[in-house]
Amino acid sequence: MQANLLNAVDAAEAIRDGSLTSTELVEACLARIEQVDGNIEAWAHLDPAYALQQAGVADEYRQMGGPLGPLHGVPVAIKDIIDTADMPTENGTVLYSGRCPSTDATLVSLLREAGAVILGKAVTTEMAVFSPGKTRNPHNPEHTPGGSSSGSAAAVAAGMVPLSVGTQTNGSMIRPASFCGVFGFKPSHGRISRTGVLAQSPMLETPGVYGRSLEDLALIAEVLMAYDAADPVMKPQARPHILSVMAEEPPVDPHLAFVRSPVWDEADVVSKDAFRELIDHLNENGEHVDIVDLPTAFDEAHETLRVVMEADLAKNFAKEYRDGKDKLSTVLCDMIERGQQVLATDYNAAVERAADLNAMLDMICEEYDAIVTPSAIGEAPKGLESTGSPTFCTIWTLCGTPALNLPVMQGENGLPIGAQLVSQKGDDARLFRTARWMLKKLEE
């Protein structure tokens, strides 16, 4: 197999045992980028010489016999709203053109500590909201890759890099994973540090990861899920042992809830049919999946997230709006202006509603090991003027639950359709174990 197509777990092991060097792996990734990125445009910043310099340092360190981190020599792409001290971070807007931070984001420091090579910065939508960047879908460049973590998902899908980091404030991790056909993980809110990440909506925003397998996601997630006292939503707790928990067999077969959610009517016909087939397959040898309707209180979830998100954008993007409104997209200006009109009482009520929804969700998760639900309304839409609807991610982002995209289906146009697996907030490791079980069932 070509080195650039190796899973991150296999690549890390090959570098560790000396059958592959980091330089060879990075060279293969750069060759792939040279070959395909002209049609995809996943990168906001890429310096091949510097990437190879990092790889060379990693190889020299290994030859010296020093202790190796879990990602030693493995290249990773970083969404361009995450600060890197040695590369520009431009937030997908001309307002930050040429911006060069003086320090790394905490999650970038953790990646370096684990031995990763920071390959480059991946394209984001404008300020990680809705206005698309230049990236195209690797499966069909006439279709969107999703957003806002468009470059991060597309780079992994196209074989340019084995791992990447993105963020989600509504559907910005899971939707691109579905559209691009890769594994994606949005952890529980507050499990990966946001220090040095563009602030949008503190109650919602969550860094996440992309990879070629569940094991890849677990490998990088364990590195990143370390306590950071500088992030006020994080708590001092041990990192979850995702890899080891995922490798265990569940004590009993998991019981899943298929949740259509209040926006089921927005799913396209092909996607609905695909999920019916998926449920039938999982139920072939036992009743493993029940169809479960959420309480009617969840009908307000999308409006609740909108109120919180837009009010927070108005606050956190106030300087950009004041000094550079003419350089911002109409869609972002409209969101900021609506957010400026949100009353404090309405904002506080929305925050309280989110807490109530979480309590209801906890009751469902007491009966079921995980929730199965669409990752997106269907295949990636044709056209590059939009990144597609995040509507099937909204509830889970609002509640701060962990979510995985499993690329297990295909639409009538040959584009991927993902299944989203969700569990109780804080139950990240068991979610991976349930996902592994589900993938094995689908292979039978």
pLDDT in tens, 334-354: 999 999 999 999 999 999 999
Respond yes or no: is residue 172 known to be catalytic.
yes
Predicted pLDDT at 1: 76
Rounded to 5°, angle at Cα 106 from 89 and 65: 105
The domain tally of the chain equals 1
- Which residue of the set 79, 121, 186, 441 is catalytic? 79
Range of the structural domain that residue 68 is part of? 3-246
For 137, residues 6+ apart whose C-beta sits below 8 A from its C-beta are 40, 143, 144, 145, 146, 154, 179, 180, 380, 415
Residue 314, domain member (yes or no): no
Residue 331, domain member (yes or no): no
Residue 437, domain member (yes or no): no
Predicted pLDDT at 166: 98
Predicted pLDDT at 182: 98
Phi first, then psi: give them for residue 13, nearest 5 degrees: -65, -40
- Which residue of the set 149, 164, 172, 375 is catalytic? 172
Strands 117-122 and 43-46: antiparallel
Respond yes or no: is residue 79 known to be catalytic.
yes
What is the CATH number for 52? 3.90.1300.10
Predicted pLDDT at 129: 98
Residue 157, domain member (yes or no): yes
Q: Which two tokens stand for residue 273?
A: 């049919």
CA neighbor of 144 nearest in space, from 186, 178, 167, 185: 178
According to DSSP, the residues that pair with 289 across neighbouring strands are 256
Respond yes or no: is residue 213 known to be catalytic.
no
Residue 231, domain member (yes or no): yes
Q: Which two tokens stand for residue 53?
A: 């310099």
**CA 235/CA 190 separation, integer angstroms:** 8
**CA 327/CA 238 separation, integer angstroms:** 43
Q: Going from the first residue of the chain to its last (444 residues), give the mean pLDDT of each consecutive group of 10, the final group possibly shorter.
A: 92 98 98 98 98 98 96 98 98 98 98 98 98 98 98 98 98 98 98 98 98 98 98 96 96 97 97 97 93 97 98 98 98 98 98 96 96 98 98 98 98 97 97 98 92
Residue 42, domain member (yes or no): yes
Q: Which two tokens stand for residue 359?
A: 């309590």
Q: Which amino acid is at 270?
A: V
Predicted pLDDT at 389: 98
Predicted pLDDT at 286: 85
Residue 386, domain member (yes or no): no
Residue 39, domain member (yes or no): yes
- Which residue of the set 148, 150, 193, 423 is catalytic? 148
